[in-house]
Amino acid sequence: MACQLLLTDFTLPLKSLKLSHSGRRLKGRSIGSQKASTTVAYYGLKTPPYNLDDLEPYMSKRALEVHWGVHHRDFVDNLNKQLGKSDILYGYTMDELVKATYNNGNPLPEFNNAAEVWNHDFFWESMQPGGGDRPNLGLLEQIENDFGSFANFRETFVEAALSLFGSGWVWLVLKRQEKRLAVVKTSNSINPIVWDDIPILNLDMWEHAYYLDYKNDKARYISTFMNHLVSWNAATIRMARAEAFVNLGEPKIPIA
């Protein structure tokens, strides 16, 4: 249940549905003489926790209008269309849906859209106006423990982003079993919760994430993320929740 707690803020599906008394979804079925309506609407498009021009000049309003307003919206819409075809995946939280549709490495058709919705919700919250700099003390100490220094972590993260082939994501995760932080990169839509890692940060390395502002200069996009956009506040909160789950010993970060 760890991931559910970690991700509680953005995993609740929107259920603007007409339900039977038993709570099951109805699709044009009749109950006695009463025709039940076909139900629609599952997951909503979450709004970033800032205005679309708040990340300028490092990420432009235009880039967010396209990235969030078109690409992210398409993932949500396409997921909802897929889910509308069957009752089987009804009622899952987003992280349950991602894990279920990953299907132990044999992904179901819904996986890519579900994971991309999850990944983008998490990405918007991994940035903030006035971001960058360094983590807060407790998280900084954990990074120094697991990477040797903050500079080493940064170098590892940047190298992973630069060396990622094709489209994908770079993540700072807490490895649940090893109880240590690690940088991982994933191809296309894959989200490390499918391997039971607990995400702390992510960076979108799909071309649509950087092309409008940085053309093909991935290095400048990545360094700008690290210097001006990354939200160590969000990472600190996520780390505190993750620590509570994996029991790293004495918590370094007080949980509010």
Q: Which residues are annotated as a binding site for Mn(2+)?
A: 67, 120, 204, 208
CB of 71 to Fe ion, least distance (A): 5
Identify the residue among 204, 210, 237, 242 touching Fe ion (CB under 5 A): 204
C-alpha distance from residue 219 to each of 5, 61, 246 (Å): 34, 21, 34
| Among the residue ranges 14-22, 88-96, 207-215, 228-236, the one whose residues contact Fe ion (CB under 5 A) | 207-215
Preceding peptide of 129 cis, ω within 30°: no
Q: Is 206 near Fe ion (CB under 5 A)? A: yes
For 139: left if phi > 0, alpha if psi spans -120 to 50, otherwise beta; the answer is alpha
Nearer to Fe ion, 164 or 181 (CB): 164
Judged by beta carbon, residue 117 or residue 172, the one nearer Fe ion is: 117
* Shortest Å, Cβ 27 to Fe ion: 32
User: Who contacts 241 (Cβ-Cβ below 8 Å, separation ≥6)?
Assistant: 5, 6, 255
Which one of 19-27, 55-63, 183-191, 199-207 is the stretch in contact with Fe ion (CB under 5 A)?
Answer: 199-207
Beta strands in 74-197 (DSSP E): 168-175, 180-187
Label residues 16-37 b or e (16+ Cβ within 10 Å = b).
ebeeeeeeebbeeeeeeeeeee
Window of 167-175, 197-205, 210-218, 226-234 that interacts with Fe ion by CB under 5 A: 197-205
Name the segment binding Fe ion (CB under 5 A); options: 3-11, 37-45, 125-133, 201-209: 201-209
CB-nearer residue toward Fe ion: 72 or 241: 72
Listed residue (173, 19, 169) closest to 87, CA to CA:
19
Span 46-105, contacts to Fe ion by CB under 5 A: none
Q: Quick one: tokens of 166? A: 């094709």
DSSP 8-class letter at 44: -
CB of 168 to Fe ion, least distance (A): 10
Binding site for Fe ion (CB under 5 A): 204, 206, 209
